[in-house]
Chain A
Amino acid sequence: MDYFAQQLINGLVLGSIYGLIAIGYTMVYGIVGMINFAHGDIFMIGGFIALISFLVLVSLGLTAIPVILLIVLLVSMAITALYGWTIERIAYRPLRHSFRLAPMLSAIGMSFVLTNFSQVSQGARVKPVPPIITGGYTLHEGAEGFAVQLSNIQILVVLATIVVLALFTWLVSRTRLGRDMRACEQDQTMAALLGVDVDRTISMTFVIGAALAAVAGMMYLLYYGLVDFFMGFVAGIKAFTAAVLGGIGSLPGAMLGGLAIGLIETFWSAYFSVEYKDVAAFSILIVVLIFMPTGLLGRPEVEKV
């Protein structure tokens, strides 16, 4: 039971990270109708920028951890958001009216560019960071000496996710930009006729998605204590799986799917085999798409001629 509770905590933390990335996929898919294949790599870039800015701040002599973390968060969100904007501008916008597979292929190319850009610019080796936030609580001392731990960093990840999600939900449901985004999702041509700047709205979608991915990247860095140039690929596919599982296009669905994937992966590693945890995640993607193509919270898609 204690073991189960511990895995539940770990799964929820991992799921929060996946959920944050999945929102970027689901938002872009909802509005532009393409799979932003490079989104996983945006997450990786976010992790790297968090790492570098953290390193710079520490070497500048800053010691107050909360201040550092806040600055790092803002810097990595801002710069990663600019990456998202630039990528949309360079690789996707010229293709918006091209044939069906073109944006997807361009996105795959962009994913290679980002992966190899960070490999070339930052080296291929894994970058470890010393644990920044330590300590935690023991929730329950088990009889066999197994204690359920809740570390501070886990609390931070979940709290940050909740705060960011609250902000994001407010943005989508209450602001002008959010309304424009929902309008573009329903019908771009009509939205344009009614005075919505479609280009700008799509740009902002990528910017917001990238900023959320940056939060996820920073949380990943804090939680696992390392980044490497290849981590975006697998995390990206899993987050996409989460988006599909939750119903692509649905924002609460993406978070729900993220949590589900995080839990499934953690429990699979805990009770079955660590080696096959990615296989389990990918198999879920296939199974979900076959039996439940609309996902948990998605709307059925009507095919029109």
Chain B
Amino acid sequence: MSATSARPHASQPSDSAFILKKALISAAVALVLFSLMIGIRTEAGPEGNLIYWTRFGDLAAIVATVFGGSIIVELLRQWWGPVDKERIVPKPVQSAMSFAGRWLAPALLGFTVLVPVIFYDQRYILDLSILVLTYVMLGWGLNVVVGLAGLLDLGYVAFYAVGAYSYALLATNFDLSFWVCLPLAGILAALWGVMLGFPVLRLRGDYLAIVTLAFGEIIRLVIINWQSLTGGPNGVSGIPRPTVFGIPLDNSDDGLAAKLGIEFSPTHRLVFLFYLILAMALITNWVTIRLRRLPIGRAWEALREDEVACRALGINTTTTKLTAFATGAMFGGFAGAFFATRQGFISPESFTFQESALVLAIVVLGGMGSQLGVALAALAMIGGFELFRGFDQYRMLVFGIAMVLLMIWRPRGLIGHRAPTVFLERNQAISSDLVKEGHG
């Protein structure tokens, strides 16, 4: 597509009249767009009839914001130049960044390990870090599918749900302990991944995305409607808390506190959960890093870069995709089981498409394939959500806007970049772009 990529930006006049005109057009468009949606507010009245009132003040404010914002964006764009230009970073900055890059991961890990020690008294921070770590684990799990194998999975939450419900139902119905259920949850989720993956993995990128999305919705709808098994919208409650290999974390005589001879505190359980999810996330990370060096991991990366070339080289794309899918699903199942035991209560509301999109956004923000990037992205995303806690209804709006802007600004993610583990050092004379579909 090199013929159409010369965009008209470069030749545009840069005087203020042009900027003003553009801003005026933007403001006019905004006025029409928001005239009814914001200018008039409808609501179901007390007798079931519709009533409305006007909000022209808000409308004017928004149109003015669009006008001002448009001017600022245009000025910034002229100052910054074309978006896709290669920028040369000065040498000292480069070396400083690579130094930081080398030490960031160990430093972050060290800090994470110490979080329960530092914030022992702050329940809120402990809770939040457990949540962040859950998403780190989910992100790392999905990263295998999206980041390494390049398969867009919009229904990842289905496997999370399978894991959570597996543990919840096995534990409440058969009294199995967490440590027995955890592998079972992972295996069941992987099984579902294979079951879904086997027929659909022949599909191309965006078809696959929609099918996984449909699958995620099917799982959620079945959970809602199969009331005799799953409790329907009411969910499953009274899910057993995890034990330290059979020793419960409670105030009883058999509890861990009593056995160790220390005073009981409910924080013990939080700390235990924290280290549990940290260990699970690190195992996910370790497995992924190891897998990347195996032939199967190399095959995943090759598949991401060029599927047709992969097939020409004799890689069985179906089984390669299937293993990626199943591996990702298994980690999702583990995370689900952890989620169930942490919450003690699960319901279908926790497994909506929004959750899938959130995990996907973490992976994309993290640079699709970079482990450190995903961890930092999870921290940024969940932390950002916490900042917007007071503005609950706006946070998904901001999330959506952020996702669009991120795609425009840095489609390859904020932090990492996805270089294959092995690649040719020497540049080839002809790139595959040029020979695509008769452009060469």
Contacts and interface: CB of A to CB of B under 8 A. Distances in A.
A239 B209 CA distance: 16
A102 B407 contact: yes
A113 to B, nearest CB: 4
B41 A91 contact: no
A122 B37 contact: yes
Given A86-B33, A98-B411, A109-B401, A129 B41 contact: no
A108 B358 CA distance: 11
Given A104-B206, A189-B1, A289-B203, A109 B400 contact: yes
A103 B1 CA distance: 16
A49 B400 contact: no
Interface stretch (A12-20, A50-58, A138-146, A252-260): A50-58
Nearest to B36: A52
B417 to A, nearest CB: 12
Contact of B37 (A49, A115, A244, A304): A49
Contact of B43 (A34, A119, A125): A125
Contact of A94 (B1, B33, B83, B403): B83
B169 interface: no
B439 interface: yes
Given A99-B411, A276-B225, A118 B36 contact: no
A59 B54 CA distance: 13
Given A97-B5, A128-B48, A290-B199, A105 B403 contact: yes
Interface string A48-88: 11011101100100000000000000010001001100100
Contacts of B399: 109, 112
Interface stretch (A152-160, A163-171, A212-220, A278-286): A278-286
A111 to B, nearest CB: 7
Given A99-B412, A237-B213, A289 B207 contact: yes
A193 interface: yes
A242 interface: no
B404 A113 contact: yes
Interface string B416-437: 0000000000000000000111
Interface string B28-42: 010011111110111
A112 B215 contact: no
A232 B317 CA distance: 35
A88 to B, nearest CB: 12
B364 interface: yes
A120 B210 contact: no
A290 B52 CA distance: 48
A122 B32 contact: no
A296 interface: no
B150 to A, nearest CB: 8
Report the contact-size class of chain B (Cβ under 8 Å from the partner). 35 or more
A91 B364 CA distance: 16
Determine chain B's interface SS by DSSP, over half rule: helix
A134 interface: no
Given A105-B403, A109-B404, A304-B437, A290 B33 contact: no
A113 B400 CA distance: 5
A90 B3 CA distance: 22
B44 A285 contact: no
Contacts of B411: 95, 98-99, 102
A82 B42 contact: no
Contacts of A55: 40, 42, 50, 52
Interface in B386-408: 393-394, 396-397, 399-404, 406-408
Interface in B324-364: 353-354, 357, 360-361, 364
Contact of A48 (B37, B199, B404, B436): B37
B408 A128 contact: no
A51 B29 CA distance: 21
B105 to A, nearest CB: 26
B402 A293 contact: no
Nearest to A104: B206
Interface residues of A, number: 78
Contacts of B289: none
A275 B200 contact: no
A254 to B, nearest CB: 15
Contact of A121 (B38, B200, B403, B412): B38
A89 B389 CA distance: 31
A300 interface: no
Nearest to A85: B29
A147 interface: no
A82 B436 CA distance: 35
Nearest to A106: B407
A275 B227 CA distance: 11
B43 A123 contact: yes
Contacts of B361: 105, 109
B33 A52 contact: no
B37 A109 contact: no
A192 B439 CA distance: 14
A285 B214 contact: yes
Which 8 interchain pairs have the tightest Cβ spacing?
Answer: A109-B403, A112-B400, A113-B400, A116-B397, A282-B214, A106-B407, A109-B404, A275-B225
Interface of A: 34-35, 45, 48-49, 51-53, 55-56, 59, 75, 79, 82-83, 86, 90-91, 94-106, 108-130, 188-189, 192-193, 198, 233, 237, 240-241, 244, 275-276, 278-279, 282-283, 285-286, 289-290, 293, 303-305
Interface of B: 1, 3-5, 29, 32-38, 40-44, 48-50, 52, 83, 152, 154, 199-200, 202-203, 205-207, 209-211, 213-215, 217-218, 221-222, 224-225, 308-309, 353-354, 357, 360-361, 364, 393-394, 396-397, 399-404, 406-408, 411-412, 435-437, 439
Given A113-B397, A120-B397, A123-B43, 9 more contacts: A75-B36, A104-B209, A106-B403, A110-B400, A122-B42, A189-B439, A283-B214, A286-B215, A305-B436
7 contacts: A79-B33, A83-B33, A103-B407, A105-B403, A126-B44, A240-B210, A244-B207
